[in-house]
């Protein structure tokens, strides 16, 4: 009888130890996922900052070009409309987990980038505009911003890869599904970006 009670105590103790270490293990994985999720959010904030910088530069750029290239009204309107469509998007952290909303965001940003590219191509026809100090400064800022956007998107995708890989691997996938961590969307290349742009004057 005493040996039976002792066996039950030992088994009960082992079960408690197992439960304790399982809880510690689960908390450890949860904390790791939280850290990776925060990394994704921080990288996303940098992407947003760079897009905002581009968004803020556009009115000054359009106004500067407008003074020289009045007949290029269609392109100027296109840039203004593309900027307006980006401005109408309500962007929150939830967009990262919604493939449809993320695709819509990326499409609007790609449209704005394409409109800006068309604007800069037109500038080639106006040597006096290209030599304008204000325009050169704005163009340099815009080019720098486009480079920052590319870097921020690349860093964001790297964080997303780490996060998505972790929450899909077993046994972390169990903790992720229980605690509501879902996959996050990657930035993809704009459709048709594999082809070099054709410039015509």
pTM beyond 0.85: the answer is: no
Residue 130 lies in a domain: yes
For residue 192, the model assigns a pLDDT of 53
For residue 137, the model assigns a pLDDT of 87
Residue 100 lies in a domain: yes
Number of domains into which the chain is organized: 1
For residue 190, the model assigns a pLDDT of 66
The domain spanning residue 95 has which CATH number? Answer: 1.20.1440.20
Show contacts of 32-35: CB within 8 Å, 24+ apart. 32/166, 32/172, 33/163, 33/166, 33/167, 33/172, 33/175, 33/176, 33/179, 33/181
Q: For residue 119, what are the domain limits?
A: 34-41+56-179
Q: Give the number of other CB atoms < 10 A from CB of residue 30.
A: 16
What's the pLDDT tens digit per position in 162-195?
Answer: 999 999 999 889 999 999 899 999 988 766 544 4
- CA 6 to chain centroid, in Å, comes to 59
Residue 98 lies in a domain: yes
Residue 85 lies in a domain: yes
For residue 154, the model assigns a pLDDT of 94
Q: Output the CA–CA distances (angstroms, integers) from residue 77 to 55, 89, 157, in the order listed.
A: 15, 19, 32
Low-confidence ranges of the chain (pLDDT < 50): 193-201
């Amino acid at each position: 009888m005493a040996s039976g009670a002792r066996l039950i105590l030992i088994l009960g103790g082992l079960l408690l130890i197992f439960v304790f270490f399982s809880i510690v293990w689960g908390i450890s994985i949860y904390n790791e996922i939280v850290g990776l999720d925060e990394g994704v959010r921080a990288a996303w904030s940098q992407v947003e900052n760079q897009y905002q910088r581009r968004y803020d530069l556009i009115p000054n750029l359009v106004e500067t070009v407008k003074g020289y290239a009045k007949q290029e009204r269609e392109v100027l309107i296109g840039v203004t409309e593309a900027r307006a469509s980006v401005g109408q998007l309500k962007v929150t952290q939830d967009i990262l987990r919604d493939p449809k909303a993320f695709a819509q965001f990326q499409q609007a940003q790609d449209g704005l980038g394409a409109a800006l590219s068309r604007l800069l191509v037109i500038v080639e026809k106006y040597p006096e505009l290209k030599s304008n100090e204000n325009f050169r400064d704005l163009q340099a800022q815009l080019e720098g911003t486009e480079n920052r956007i590319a870097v921020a998107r690349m860093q964001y995708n790297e964080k997303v890869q780490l996060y998505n890989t972790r929450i899909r691997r077993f046994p972390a996938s169990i903790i992720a599904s229980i605690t509501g961590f879902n996959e996050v969307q990657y930035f993809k290349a704009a459709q048709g970006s594999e082809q070099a742009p054709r410039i015509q004057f």
